[in-house]
Structure 1
Amino acid sequence: PEPNYKSRQLVSLAPQSNPIDTADMLRLLLIWAAILGCCHGQSEVSRRNSLLKVMSPPELEGTYGCASADFGFPQHAGSMTGVVVYPRPNTMACMNFDDFGISFRSRRAGGPPVILLVDRGGCYFTTKVQNGQKAGAAAVLIVNHRNEPLFAIDEPESGETTLDLHLQDITIPSALITKSLGESLRKASNNGDLVNVNLDWEESRPHPHERAEYEFWTNGNDECGPKCDEQVDFLKRFKGVAQTLEKKGYTQFTPHYITWYCPENFVLSKQCKSQCINHGRYCAPDPEQGFSKGYDGRDVVLQNLYQICVFKVAKKTGKPWLWWDYVTHFAIMCPMKKKMYTHECASGVIRSLGLSQKAVDMCVGDPHADEDHPVLKDEQDAQIGKGSRSDVTMLPTLVINNRQYKGQCSSLQFQ
């Protein structure tokens, strides 16, 4: 059965205009993070406008529309890159995958998130997503069985099903895709192709509700369109506040970067070679989300590694806030559009900040080595959730006090 669906209201955020003192600056961090879309959280918002970008196989490359669910974990202005898996059996995901001995959890740190592809029908949408989440999927794509316009998936009306009691436990995103796209993705997955996709959420704006020390999970990619532009703009605008908070001891900031490893069967493929370093161990999506032009994902991994190493070297000098100077200067001086996204340009920015180029290079190491990289391995390990902390699977993400930020959104004004 598919119940009637209810609509939800958009909400607005109105930050205070009165002067603030230093003690309130951390609150401003979270407010700006919410307004500029730097983090994600639980909210009462419409999430209908989403994009699904297929990066491989090549014959399916392109951007497609999808209709996000209005339940689960909203990815406010964030994105997620993962590998599409079509389950056999239980293709409708109406039964618990444990009954079939199926798990989508990675066997080791750094595995790409699994985006589960399931067929519509047979049970509630919420049932499909719950079963996918229990089995370890990071997101669920539901393939429509009719050729019709997409519609936003909402939760069942209150009282229609006992599953209402468990909706709050759904913490992964889901979306409805067209019949034609779903059939193409299903065919590619069944053929054994590596099906890489990127889910991009555009509309949500969360309201932060707590203050703490924080981690910012980000990416050095500047060619992913408006999302990258917004993130760079956030870094530039918030730099001064973040550095003041750090210098005065109000925060302890740590940047992090998501990487994933290439499945062993595809390590020697063109896709993995172009997206990964250290023999497929550390990968990032292609910047243009296509393999035929511009910079490659491996270039992004290298620049992410440079940014991590700059932070580590700066922290040893007692000036961790120099990371903010590096990433903002690099964005201005070394953009992909100007073909300046290079080691040479990065080195120039490092020297301009008075940091040791030798120390940074030693930290970066050899990206061609067929061995684990200690820094990037630590980053992959940090992506895995522990205790009450969830896995980090989408960009950007804010982690506060060792918990992913999940601020509730309402029409409150900040007084």
Structure 2
Amino acid sequence: MASPPPPLLLTLVWAAALLWCGGCDARFVVEKNSLRVTAPVALKGAYECAIGNFGVPQYGGTMVGVVAYPKANRKACKGFDDFDVSFKARPGALPTFLLVDRGDCYFTKKAWNAQNAGAAAILVADDRDEPLITMDTPEESGRVEYLENITIPSALISKSFGDRLKKAIDNGDMVNVNLDWRESLPHPDERVEYEFWTNSNDECGPKCDSQIDFVKSFKGAAQILEKQGYTQFTPHYITWYCPEAYTSSKQCKSQCINHGRYCAPDPEQDFSKGYDGKDVVIQNLRQVCVYKVAKESKKPWLWWDYVTDFAVRCPMKEKKYTKECADGVIKSLGLDHKAIDKCIGDPDADEENPILKAEQDAQIGKGSRGDVTILPTLVINNRQYRGKLDKGAILKALCAGFRETTEPTVCLSEDIQTNECLENNGGCWQDKAANITACKDTFLGKVCECPIVKGVKFIGDGYTHCEASGAGRCEINNGGCWKETMNGRTYSACTADGCKCPDGFKGDGIHKCEDIDECKERTACQCKECNCKNTWGSYECGCSGGLLYMKEHDTCISESAAAQVGWNFLWVIFFGLAATGIAGYAVYKYRIRRYMDSEIRAIMAQYMPLENQGDIHSHPHQIEM
């Protein structure tokens, strides 16, 4: 038996659970997914189940299987090899979802035994009538060697639903179910916001090791997503405060900063050796400030570099968990360590630290997100992730948070999901000749959406029909219209308004346009002397007896008449131009002459009386008597 923890540690744990939010009502939200029964008819419908906090939930996806309830070892606390039972599905058969009863051993033990027996998922039926709870990992996880190897998803179902499933199976009914995680995470837009609640302690056993390993393995993907603007990441750290009655105690002073306001448990759970809880709090604060300063420098992804480098260069086991070692990492990343020190503030001050106060406030659940009480916790689009910290599992969960068709390329890679457009084109419209399809692969599945190709938008329902529209439509597969080349001449039915056979052809304009025989239908060369010859898309008309064909009048005339008509026409033009020139010259001369006469008369009037002016009598000195 392990020795009981010190009384203050119990007090701090109690404070963490009840007092850290300042007396508010703690609210833990059980994250759920959907379970839909498709057979038998009596059970058909949708049911809620609680996602276990271990294994790999298939966020964004679904699983179809058959429920099996074992005849022995129904609580799955022993390996099924002891009972010579296997639940591995045969080739071509649906996978098995193992239904077991709650009780007698850890949830994780049940899942591990079910996985080893070949089950694809485990359903745990509650043994009491109560609201659904979250199945968590055991506190003494350091002793559970298999914990990180559990990969099947798990779900807790209510007692009443479990009883109905058992009854149906005992009656010989085949129970088909669909586990659905597609709506377990919100996916409202093209950017995913997520938080990682962690700590800088590296001496808490397998949980701390898994956190460090996760950060190292996920760093590359996280930084790419952040740099390209697909995600917005924020790290957070859980802290507690010491109850007022203990703030002056030696233990509280060693575990807390700012006079008991911000505390962390002792890393080794031994107050007499190693680092103290306050060392963890200060390093947590430093990591928050690294993120804050990096974000102000528009490089928030440097947090991942700092945390991974610090874990390698400054471990507790080597007694390097110090400010000096941390400053060396900060400087190597080109960050301003003075700005980070200013952000940290004075840990000995008897006042609130604004950064850590904000962290405590952020622990309180808002909206659909409950309080953060499990460490570590990943929050994606304001919903807490449940499952193991595994790079592939977390990446799938993030991909489930994007609005469909906006996810980055990494979410559509083969190691993340299958391309549903590869099989029967996803049931969508396609033009094989032009290699155009309406099927668009998404992380959640696929959508049938008419595409945009080379700037040309296709319109239609996406399933049975898509048609190019707008300007440039004829550049894409000729707009889906008829087109043919013969004898070096090409005709197309594609127009800006649709498919219409060109002049000289008839048909639907899409599949076929046939040449019109203008000669046969007597729409050309109708004069008595005309000879008509049909050509592809047109016709040729000639005249017999040496006559000349005039297309404008659809008539035949002799060459001499044509010549005479031509010379007469030229003479008419010549005399017309000559007459116009003479008339123009006469008008010009007349206007010039008239203008000159008026100018001369005006000048002469200034110097002598003209005949048309009357006598002028002047009496400059006349005085009236």
If the length of structure 1 is used for normalisation, what is the TM-score? 0.56
Deviation at 1:236, TM superposition (A): 1.1
| Alpha-carbon distance between aligned partners in 1 of 2:248 and 2:193, rounded to the nearest angstrom | 41
Specify the SS of the correspondent of 2:330: helix
Distance 1:345 1:407, change over 3 A: closer
Residue 19 of structure 2 corresponds to: 106
Match of 1:151 in 2: 104
Letter in 1 for 2:220: G
SS in 2 for 1:253: strand
Would you say the 8 A contact 1:109–1:383 is kept in 2?
A: no
Is contact 1:109-1:380 (8 Å) kept?
no
The reply to whether residue 336 of structure 1 matches residue 336 of structure 2 is no
- Which stretch has the larger CA shift, 203-212 or 339-348? 203-212
Asked if 2 retains the 8 angstrom alpha-carbon contact of 1:222 and 1:336, the reply is yes
Please state how far the C-alpha of 1:157 moved relative to its aligned partner: 6.3
Give CA deviations for 1:95-120 in whole Å, capped at 9, x if unaligned.
Answer: xxxxxxxxx84374499x99xxxxxx
Take 1:260 and 1:275, find their aligned partners in 2: how far apart are those partners? 10
Residues 1:246 and 2:199 aligned together: no
Residues 282, 307 of structure 1: alpha-carbon distance in 2 compared, 3 angstrom cutoff:
same
Contact 1:109 1:381 in 2 (8 A): no
Give 1:83's match in structure 2, choosing from 14, 29, 32.
14
- 1:245–1:251 contact (8 Å) kept in structure 2: yes
- Distance of 1:306 and 1:407 partners within structure 2: 28
Alignment partner of 1:400 out of 380, 399, 402: 380
Deviation per CA, 1:116-161: give whole Å up to 9, x if none: xxxxxxxxxxxxxxxxxxxxxxxxxxxxxxxxxx932789967x86
C-alpha change, 1:106 and 1:267, in structure 2 (3 Å) is same
1:52 touches 1:199 (CA, 8 Å); kept in 2? no
Aligned residue for 1:321? 301
Q: Greater RCO between the two (CA within 8 Å, min separation 6)?
A: 1
Of residues 335, 340, 361, the one that matches 1:360 is 340
Report the counterpart of residue 167 of structure 1 in structure 2: 131
> Does the CA-based 8 Å contact 1:110-1:259 persist in structure 2?
no
Give the secondary structure class of the aligned counterpart of 2:197: strand
* Aligned counterpart for 1:282 among listed residues 262, 267, 271: 262
Shift of 1:255: 0.4
Deviations 1:21-70 (A, max 9, x none): xxxxxxxxxxxxxxxxxxxxxxxxxxxxxx99853238x99xxxxxxxxx
Aligned to 2:245: 265
CA distance in 2, matches of 1:312, 1:378: 13
Asked if 1 retains the 8 angstrom alpha-carbon contact of 2:237 and 2:359, the reply is: yes
2:15–2:241: 8 Å Cα contact kept in structure 1?
A: no
1:55 maps to which residue? 5
Deviations along 1:151-178, whole A, 9 cap, x unmatched? 32789967x86x2xx432x348698xxx
Q: Which runs of 5+ in 2 are unaligned?
A: 28-102, 108-122, 154-180, 394-415, 419-625
Alpha-carbon distance in 2 for matches of 1:324, 1:397: 17
Following the alignment from structure 1 to structure 2, what is the Cα–Cα distance between the partners of residues 206 and 404?
19
Which SS does the other structure have where 1:167 is aligned?
A: coil
Report how far residue 270 of structure 1 moved.
2.1
CA contact (8 A) 2:21 2:360 kept: no
Q: Which amino acid aligns with 2:104?
A: F
Flag the 1:384–1:340 CA change in 2: closer, same or farther, 3 A: same
Aligned identity (percent) is: 61
Q: Which residue number in structure 2 is paired with residue 235 of structure 1?
A: 215
Secondary structure of 1:331's match?
Answer: helix
2:15–2:240 CA contact under 8 A, matched in 1: no
Distance 1:84 1:376 in 2: 16
In the alignment, the residues of structure 1 paired with residue 239 and residue 319 of structure 2 have an alpha-carbon distance, to the nearest angstrom, of 23
| CA shift in 2, pair 1:239/1:300, >3 Å | same
The correspondence for 2:278, drawn from 298, 301, 311, is 298
- TM-score (norm. length: structure 2): 0.38
Instruction: Confirm or deny: 8 A CA contact 2:20 2:360 kept in the other structure.
Output: no
Mapping for residues 158-237 of structure 1, pairs under 5 Å: 163=129, 166-168=130-132, 170-171=133-134, 200=141, 202=144, 203=147, 210=185, 212-237=192-217
Contact 2:331–2:337, Cα closer than 8 Å, also in 1:
yes
Partner SS state of residue 213, structure 1 = strand
Return the alpha-carbon distance in structure 1 between the equivalents of residues 386 and 319 of structure 2: 37
CA pair 270-362 structure 1, distance change in 2 beyond 3 A? same
- Name the residue aligned to 1:380: 360
Quick one: distance in 2 between partners of 1:222 and 1:374? 25
Indicate if the aligned counterparts of 1:52 and 1:200 stay in contact, CA closer than 8 A.
no
Deviation at 1:405, TM superposition (A): 1.6
User: What is the rounded CA distance, in whole Å, between the counterparts of 2:288 and 2:20 in structure 1?
Assistant: 25
Q: 1:153 to 1:336 in 2, by over 3 A?
A: closer
| Shift in CA distance, 205/370, structure 1 to aligned 2, threshold 3 Å | farther
Stretches of structure 1 lacking an aligned partner (at least 5 in a row):
1-50, 62-80, 86-103, 115-149, 176-197
The whole-number CA distance in structure 2 between the counterparts of 1:56 and 1:380 is 25
The match for 1:67 is: none
Partners of 1:110 and 1:261 within 8 A in 2:
no
| Residue 348 (str. 1) matches residue 328 (str. 2) | yes
Q: Please state whether the residue corresponding to 2:241 is helix, strand or coil.
A: coil
Aligned to 1:9: none
C-alpha distance 328-279 of structure 1, shift in aligned 2 (>3 A):
same
Q: Secondary structure at the match of 1:399?
A: strand
Q: Is the 8 A contact 1:53 1:199 kept in 2?
A: no
Cα distance in 1 for residues equivalent to 2:373 and 2:313: 29
Higher CA-based Rg: 2
